[in-house]
Structure 1
Amino acid sequence: MRGTRGFVMLNALVIVAAMSAAVVLVMGRAQAVRDVQYLDVSVAQTKLYLDGFDALAVQLLGEDGRRGITDHPSDNWAKASYTVDVDRGQVSGQIRDLQSGFNINWLNWAPDVANQEAFLRLADSASLSSNLAEAVIDFVKLGGPSNRAIYGQRPIPIDPDGGPLVSIWQLRDVPGMTDESFEKLRKYASVMPPEAKININTAPREVIDAILPNSSQEINGLLQGREQEPIASLDMLFDIIMSQLQDEVAANLVLEKFAVGSDWFIAESVAQLNDSTFRRETVIRRRGTPRVTEIWYRLGPL
């Protein structure tokens, strides 16, 4: 009898243990489902917040495009730097003129040595090593880099074939490109279609001087008033180039690198929800007459 009671008690304990394990498993799965649902809601909420800043950027650039052909740091789009408190966090963003930077895709125009020399001067101003600058030129040249084997030795191998870039983030694959070097490069360089020009009103002096070396005194005169009012004509710039080159055809070739307005912009936004931070970069294009403002592509959350 005692043996029977002991057997029954043992079976009961086994059943209780099994039920406890099942309860733990079910509760664990329920928590996992809740975590996934919470993550899904957070991602969806973040996307809506970032979409909201993109919509604001398109509106500001569209309104500005209807006012005239020049683009300048005093424009509403350039002054727009927003930080807004939202449910469970904060959203911030700003708009940058992509045409204020040296167009990396100019380096695809082989054998345009002038573009390569200008980029090397810019890299020096940005405190980038000459080896890294040469590696960037090699990476984007038509046909791909000379030493392709080094790219196959990466943790995730790639086989770059050169040609125009879509995003400056592709340059993260260049050997020796650290986070610090990349941020320095992004300050002065952009990736746009090869025909995109540099905006004389928004470009840093380092970018202008890289393309027009040995003309500081003349450029100072040209840029003296651009902080207050946009430069509306490139006539004075043409005179500066002509004084250097003494060749109208060559001067016009250099002049074609500049403009007084812009068609390519980037909206950079950040959404912070609880302990998570999400970043997005949205390239915006203005085109046509009347000018249409549209989102070209998005990167992120990053």
Structure 2
Amino acid sequence: MSSKQTQARTIPTKQRGVALIAVLMVIAIVVIIAASMTSRLRLQIQRQQNIQQQTQAFWYAMAAEQFSRVLLARTITAEETVNLSQDWAQQGATFPVDNGTIAGEITDLRSCFNINALQNASSENGTAKVEFSPAQQAFQRLLELKLPDLTMPAEYLTARIADWLDEDSLLMTSGSAEQDDYASLAYPYYAANTLMASKSELRVILDLTPADYQALAPYVCVIPDDRSLLINVNTLTEQNAVLLSALIPTLTEDAAIEFINSRPETGFTTLEDVTSSAAFADITLADDVKSMLVFKSEYFNLTATAAYLESGFVLTSVLKKTDNNKIKVLARRFGDHG
């Protein structure tokens, strides 16, 4: 065989090898693309399923809100006191639904300390208010009773919250904080100078630590656009009995707990019923304290927890009973805000 014939057969063999390699590369690329598309498709399907489950859990929570509005409207009338024997106050109920559960807890917002009550009235002469109001004095006593490890004096925190809420930029006390103090921080911001919408806003008060906030949170709340401090003696429990001690300096927390445990099942109806109890035998209530003790409420907080398949949803709603016995939603927050 001649060298020319051998060379002629070798060239097509090399061409076929190159073609085979090219085909294999194309197949490998196609497989990689197909695998990537499959992975993206699975991710998209999972994402869509998560959205659908989360949406369903959201509507379950909204259903709980609607149910709570109906329940409050049916069980609270203008003539009756608001007390813990009523249906709205029953805790621990969980309702099964298709592929999930719904649970809800309603609390009286008059059984906690409304932070907005710390706001100072507008100053007419342009000077800062230096004397604490009855609500501010009660808050300071609450801090002294329940937050012994507070990272600042109770007077300072009371003044700082008051200055956060008031409309001016004047320091209430030397230990307070205002616009310039917040603006000079490493990550600056301004004081709100208006009422709070959520108690989670306390987290931004100057020098208030997470530990301080966690210790304070069970005793406080925020009622949107309301700066009154009213405590419903019929919905207090042993856990927040200290609110009475904060309002009444001569009433110890143990005496307040004893008073709550001796409360009639349907609660008190008049202030005379309260003052005639054994816990108040040697106590004279100041007029401003008398005005803060009530037996009804129009503001409530709903925490609805819904679960659907692998998704969960938490809805917190602030509800208000109007004069025509309708229940209106004042605010909604999604998620657990602590």
The bucket for the TM-score relative to the shorter chain is 0.7 to 0.9
Question: Considering only CA atoms, is the larger Rg found in Structure 1 or Structure 2?
Answer: 2
SS in 2 for 1:81: coil
The reply to whether residue 228 of structure 1 matches residue 262 of structure 2 is: no
- Relative distance call for 1:52 and 1:197 in structure 2 (3 A) is same
Q: 1:146 aligns with which of 153, 164, 178?
A: 178
C-alpha separation in 1, matches of 2:181 and 2:22: 66
Q: 2:39 aligns with which of 19, 24, 28?
A: 28
- 2:14 aligned partner, one-letter code: G
SS in 2 for 1:99: coil
Taking every aligned residue pair, what percent have the same amino acid on both sides? 21
Preserved CA contact (<8 Å) 1:108 1:140: yes
The reply to whether residue 173 of structure 1 matches residue 172 of structure 2 is: no
C-alpha separation in 2, matches of 1:64 and 1:180: 38
- Relative distance call for 1:109 and 1:200 in structure 2 (3 A) is farther
For normalisation by structure 2, the TM-score amounts to: 0.76
Deviation at 1:211, TM superposition (A): 0.9
Please, which runs of 5 or more residues in structure 2 have no aligned partner?
1-11, 122-128, 170-176
- Relative distance call for 1:42 and 1:181 in structure 2 (3 A) is farther
C-alpha separation in 2, matches of 1:191 and 1:268: 14
SS in 2 for 1:170: helix
- Relative distance call for 1:135 and 1:148 in structure 2 (3 A) is farther
Preserved CA contact (<8 Å) 1:81 1:95: no
Query: What is the aligned partner in structure 2 of residue 188 from structure 1?
Result: 219
Preserved CA contact (<8 Å) 2:304 2:314: yes
C-alpha separation in 2, matches of 1:205 and 1:212: 11
The reply to whether residue 131 of structure 1 matches residue 155 of structure 2 is: no
Query: What is the aligned partner in structure 1 of residue 4 from structure 2?
Result: none
Tell me the C-alpha RMSD between the 2 structures.
3.1
C-alpha separation in 1, matches of 2:317 and 2:207: 26
The reply to whether residue 42 of structure 1 matches residue 42 of structure 2 is: no
SS in 1 for 2:93: strand
C-alpha separation in 2, matches of 1:196 and 1:287: 19
C-alpha separation in 1, matches of 2:184 and 2:41: 44
Of 193-202 and 37-46, deviating more is 193-202
- Relative distance call for 1:35 and 1:177 in structure 2 (3 A) is farther
Deviation at 1:196, TM superposition (A): 5.4
Preserved CA contact (<8 Å) 1:238 1:255: no
Deviation at 1:237, TM superposition (A): 5.3
Deviation at 1:51, TM superposition (A): 0.9
C-alpha separation in 2, matches of 1:19 and 1:281: 50
Question: Which string of whole-angstrom CA distances, capped at 9 and with x for unpartnered residues, describes residues 28-60 of structure 1?
Answer: 221122122112101111101111211121111
For normalisation by structure 1, the TM-score amounts to: 0.84
Query: What is the aligned partner in structure 1 of residue 66 from structure 2?
Result: 55
Please, which runs of 5 or more residues in structure 1 have no aligned partner?
246-250
Q: 2:139 aligns with which of 107, 116, 119?
A: 119
Question: Which string of whole-angstrom CA distances, capped at 9 and with x for unpartnered residues, describes residues 102-146 of structure 1?
Answer: 111111025443322211111222235162743354134213633
